[in-house]
Amino acid sequence: MNQGNGSNRWTILFFGMICMLIMGVCYTYSLFQPYIMQHFNVDSPTASLPFTIFIAVFCIGNFVGGRMQQKYSIKGTLVVGYVLMVLGWLISAYLPACMFSAMYITFGGLFGIGDGIVYNVIVSLMPKWFVDRKGLASGLTLAMLGMSATVFSPFVSGWLKAYGYTISFLIVAAIYAGVGVLGTITMKLPPAGFMSDYVGTGPVVTSKKQYEVSEVLRLKEFWIIMGLYFCAVPAYLLLSAIFVSYGADRGLTPALATLGVSVASMCQVGGRFLIPTISDKIGRKAAFALSFLITAGGVALLSIATGTLYVTCFGLLSFSFGGCQACFAPIAADRFGTKNVGTILSLTMIGFGTGSIASSIAAKMLGTAAAFTCAGTVAVIGILLVLALPSARKAGA
């Protein structure tokens, strides 16, 4: 087995984890929102729009990052991504009170594209170094992203109270500039031929063929994986958006609400690490099936849950959502090879974007209870899609 300079891969994983941890500062946006409202004199729904746009544009940034890696170096792609991230926060910091709509472009657009580019580089790089432990490497990096809001919330709150809107945005811009230098220096591709003869054993088989994007679009399993991305989203997004308000009639006290948010955050981190890690042993299909079973069970319990059980349901949905999210990079690398995994992974994220939009539309059109029923049904459909997914060997591995 040609491992070449393989001892460096743990160092690259370590720095990748640091980059992911710091990238997630943006997920403390809810802390910035009151200060954005005050600075621009806008209401809460309006102040949340830049973050909503960021999430949508982030998916586009993933595709851009994947395509850039096919034409340019890893370091060049990271430089572009980090520069856009820094500019997004830097320009937003200096926007006058009369130019709130410009945040749609600066925070939502520039930062969204840049964040998507960097995310795609790091997530697609780890399976290339850890051909034999894709789940572990992906799980560790994405767990750090999940932990970020919890780790940085106290710092962000302190900055906002001490310095206000502008200086706090500048601090985050400086942090992203610093991690940009770190990421650009440390992230690199493995040497040519690194573990090229590894095919895996047991339920996890690695494709020796490096698929082109045009080839993947003709494969049944690509569209099934995109469908899995769609099915992984609705239940968690529905509950996370209304956890406190929906729980008002279910015995959710202020203390339980605070506990529930903390529990959900840690469960999502645990899912991001545990599910993909055990997928290295039990197989990706089994890991996805387990996640969707947990989701379906959580939604079923939600119909009768009150108090502590209600909080438990949120934890279950957070755990399964995090676990699913961290399994997509490993399964894409397993089945389609690592050469173009960044672009292929970004295309499967169309399912994520579609699922996000569909869950929001369902909640508005059907009402909360009916929307959760649909989300539970979608989770069951996810299990059926897992069963329909061809085995790795049959898929061309």
pLDDT tens, the chain, 397 aa long: 455 455 589 999 999 999 999 998 888 888 898 899 999 999 877 888 898 889 889 989 999 999 999 889 999 999 999 999 999 999 999 999 999 999 999 999 999 999 999 999 999 999 999 988 898 999 999 999 888 888 888 899 899 999 999 999 999 999 999 999 999 999 999 988 787 777 666 677 777 788 998 999 999 999 999 999 999 988 888 887 777 777 878 888 888 887 887 888 889 999 999 999 999 999 999 999 999 999 999 999 988 888 889 889 989 999 999 999 999 999 999 899 888 898 999 999 889 888 888 887 887 788 778 888 898 999 999 999 999 998 765 554 4
Query: Is 161 found in the same domain as 37?
Result: yes
Instruction: Give the chain's end-to-end CA distance (angstroms, integer).
Output: 18
Same domain flag for 317 and 366: yes
The last residue of one of the domains, among 123, 151, 186, is: 186
Same domain, 278 and 153: no
Please state the separation of Cα 102 from the chain's center in Å.
26
CA distances from 383 to 135, 229, 250 (A): 20, 12, 29
Assess if residue 169 is contained within a domain: yes
> Angle, to 10 degrees, between the axis of helix 341-348 and the axis of helix 44-71?
150
Q: Are residues 149 and 226 in the same domain?
A: no
* CA–CA separation, 188 and 197 (whole Å): 21
**pLDDT digit string, tens, across residues 7-27:** 589 999 999 999 999 998 888
Which residue, of 116, 151, 186, is where some domain finishes?
Answer: 186
Identify whether 194 is part of a domain. Answer: no
pLDDT tens across 331-380, in order? 999 899 888 898 999 999 889 888 888 887 887 788 778 888 898 999 99
341 inside domain: yes
In total, how many domains does the chain have?
2
Written as six digits, the tokens of 164 are 């206000």
Q: Give yes or no for a contact between 89 and 109, defined as CB atoms under 8 angstroms apart.
A: no
In this structure, are 22 and 58 located in the same domain?
yes
> Is 47 part of a structural domain of the chain?
yes
Residues 180 and 218 in one domain: no
Q: Is residue 49 part of a domain?
A: yes
Asked whether residue 191 is domain-assigned, the answer is no
Which pLDDT does position 288 carry in this prediction?
95
In a domain, 326, yes or no: yes
Other beta carbons within 10 angstroms of residue 198's beta carbon come to 14
Interatomic CA distance for residues 233 and 375, integer angstroms? 9
* CATH assignment of the domain containing 218: 1.20.1250.20
Tell me: do 58 and 144 sit in the same domain: yes
Q: Are residues 275 and 221 in the same domain?
A: yes
The answer to whether residue 207 sits within a structural domain is no
Q: Is residue 222 domain-shared with residue 99, that is, in the same domain?
A: no
Same-domain check for residues 132 and 240? no
Cα(115)–Cα(26) distance, rounded to whole angstroms?
A: 9
- The alpha carbon of 305 is separated from its chain's Cα centroid by a whole number of angstroms, namely 28
- Considering the domain architecture, whether residues 55 and 161 belong to the same structural domain is answered as yes
Range of 169's domain? 6-186
What would the 3-class secondary structure string for the chain be?
A: CCCCCHHHHHHHHHHHHHHHHHHHHHHHHHHHHHHHHHHHCCCHHHHHHHHHHHHHHHHHHHHHHHHHHHHCCHHHHHHHHHHHHHHHHHHHHCCCCCCHHHHHHHHHHHHHHHHHHHHHHHHHHHHHHCCCCHHHHHHHHHHHHHHHHHHHHHHHHHHHHHHHHHHHHHHHHHHHHHHHHHHHHHCCCCCCCCCCCCCCCCCCCCCCCCCCHHHHCCCHHHHHHHHHHHHCCHHHHHHHHHHHHHHHHCCCCHHHHHHHHHHHHHHHHHHHHHHHHHHHHHCHHHHHHHHHHHHHHHHHHHCCCCHHHHHHHHHHHHHHHHHHHHHHHHHHHHHHCCCCHHHHHHHHCHHHHHHHHHHHHHHHHHCHHHHHHHHHHHHHHHHHHHHHCCCCCCCCC
Q: Which of 151, 186, 221 is the last residue of a domain?
A: 186
Do residues 71 and 156 both lie within one domain? yes
Q: Any residues with CB less than 8 A from the CB of 169 and at least 6 apart, and which?
A: 32, 89, 90, 92, 93
